[in-house]
Amino acid sequence: MESSPSSAVREARVALGGRLREIRKAGGFRTARAFAARAGWSESKASRIENGITQPSEDDLRRYAELCQAPEVYADLVATVHNIEEMYVEWRRLHRDGLRRIQEARVPLYERTRHFRVYEPGVIPGLLQTPAYARSIMSRIIGFWGIPDDAEVASAVRIGRQRVLRDAGRQFGFLLEETALRSRFGDAEVMADQLGHLLAVSVLQQVSLGIIPMTADRTMWPLEAFWIYDDERVVVELATAEITVKQPSEVATYVRVFAEMAQIAVHGKAARALITEAINALE
C-alpha cells in the first residue's frame, strides 16, 4: 500500500481482487454488498479489496475463505499477499551499490534449499560458472547499469556459494538451451575452461544436466531464466527486474514447465556431446 506501487504490483493486486470476487460469487454472494454485510464490513471495504485498491489482510482473506466455504484456497491467498510487495524488484535498485550485496543475500536461500531446478536460456548459471566466466558476466552487468565495479569480490562470493553443489544430500536439476553453450562471455580460453567445467560437473551424482538442442522439435517455447528453490519459491529474471513467485499454484506451474523442458532436453552422453561440440567450435 505504498503511494506509488509499480505496475506489476498494481496488476497483482487487481488480479487478487478478481480472484476474491470469483470466490465470493462461487460462495453464493452475488454482490460485494451482500458479502460485506455477512462479514461485518462496509460495502466500500469489500469493493476496494476486489478492485485492487486496498490489499487485504490475512484476517480478510480468512473471511473470504470461511464465508464462501472454500477453506482450501486460504493458504494460496495468503502466499499471494505475502508475495505482492516483494515480487517485483528492479535490477537498478538491487544493483545500486554493486553486485556483491545481492550475491551475499542469496547465501541463506542457497543453504536451506535442498532441491534446485534451474532453467537458463542464454548463459551458464551461477552455480556452474568458473571464476573467469563469472567475472566476465559481472563486468558486462556493471558496464550496462553503470554501477560500482566490484566484479572481483562479487564473483568470489558467487563461486563461494557453489559449496552447496558438493553436498550429496541435495539435488540439482539444470536445463540449458544450447545457445547458452555457444554464447561467448570471454575469450576462447575462458569459454573452453567454462565448458570443460560443465563436463566435469555433469557427472556428479547429485547433478542432472540437460541441454535443449537448437534443433529440438519443441513442445515448450524458450522462456526467461528461472530458478525453482524446493517447492517454496521461483525467481524469474527479466531484463528490468527480478520477480519472486511464492503462490503454490504458480510455483506448481513453473515445476510443470521445467518438467516439460526436461522432456525435450538431452542428458548424459548426448548432453556432453553438445558441450564438446561447443568446445571444438571455439578453435
Domain boundaries, the chain: 7-84, 88-280
Fold of the domain spanning 7-84: 434 Repressor (Amino-terminal Domain) (1.10.260)
Instruction: Note the residue count of the chain.
Output: 283
Q: What mean pLDDT is reported for the chain? A: 90
What's the pLDDT tens digit per position in 189-214? 999 999 999 999 999 999 999 999 99
Q: Which CATH superfamily is domain 88-280 in?
A: Endonuclease Chain A (3.30.870.10)
In angstroms, the CA 128 to CA 115 distance is 15
**Residue-wise burial string across 123-154, b where 16 or more C-beta atoms lie within 10 A, e elsewhere:** bbbbbbbbbbbbbbbbbeebeeeebeebbeeb
pTM: 0.73
- The confidence score (pLDDT) of residue 91 equals 62
What's the pLDDT tens digit per position in 49-98? 999 998 899 999 999 999 999 999 999 999 888 877 666 666 666 677 78
Residue 27 has pLDDT above 70, yes or no: yes
